[in-house]
Structure 1
Amino acid sequence: MKAFIISDSHGWEQELKKVIDRHRKDVDILIHCGDSELHKEHNALRGVNTVKGNCDFGDDFPNDITEEVKGVKIYVTHGHLYNVKMTHVPLSYRAEEKGANIACFGHSHVAGAFVENGVVYINPGSIRLPRNRVEKTYCICDYNDTIAIVTFYDIDGNVIEDMVYRFELK
């Protein structure tokens, strides 16, 4: 199962569409972790599973979603409701409650991935306003029963070599 994960595009339209279209045919699911600042019907978000961030106004998007793709359960939220800038504990409780294999979130604009209690946690960073790195980032997670590989890319589609995470599962 391959998941494309992006977050915190903060109003960028053409840039967001270009990045998503680059990978659209190569993945099983497209995910935006919130703060798109676009409407649900926007062309850039066509076919993208999108949640509401703290900078998204209106009722276009849900606060969280859970999707199952090829037997892999993916939980998606923006993270502001779980205080992810301070701790991952509330998010981990929610992900475990949902039975997630993967938990995707944004909000902090800090790209990274880690495993806790068998759940792969992924923050794709931001394609507009990254923090802790200069690269504007998004990622793809390639997940099967025994391994998860999370590969981060810059906005131009180049692999960020020191941000390829390989997690042994089970």
Structure 2
Amino acid sequence: MATVKLKGNEVKLSGNEINVGDKAPEATVVATDLSEKKVGGAQEKVQMIVVVPSLDTPVCATETRKFNESAANIEGVDVTVVSMDLPFASKRFCSTEGVENLTVASDFRNKEFGEKYGVLIEEGPLAGILARAIFIIGKDGTVVYKQLVPEITEEPNYDEAIEAAKAAANK
């Protein structure tokens, strides 16, 4: 099972590790309006799933704003940010930050996404929330890109993820 670090200390993740080439499992997350959204599996558009620990942290807030500006404009790509934040807090964040080009959703209800994608933090001070990661899923439901950020407190490689999403959308 993959591990990541929090301020240099190793953190164990639980769930099923998903890698490039694997079929992306379907999971249900909860949008800010409390509706359910299915992520993973085969869909009409390429999916970019941006996984963050909490929108209430500066790194996660910055990451969500950046993807709202850049990735949401890629034709043929559906962008969803997933955290464990309650939908009410996510809605407040989106209205305060002007995030309206992507879906912000929560895995709080069943922790289904975290378990199915192997990004649920199992131990330490952040136990029960999600590690920072990005998954890009082709229309056929296959994972074509994965970035598990090795240090939870650091931002992902935005350019690499955006290029991978563009490439998948142009196939």
Shared fold, TM over 0.5: no
Normalising TM by the smaller chain, what interval? 0.3 to 0.5
How high is the TM-score relative to the length of structure 1? 0.39
Structure in which a larger fraction of residues adopt strand: 1
How high is the TM-score relative to the length of structure 2? 0.39
Structure in which a larger fraction of residues adopt helix: 2
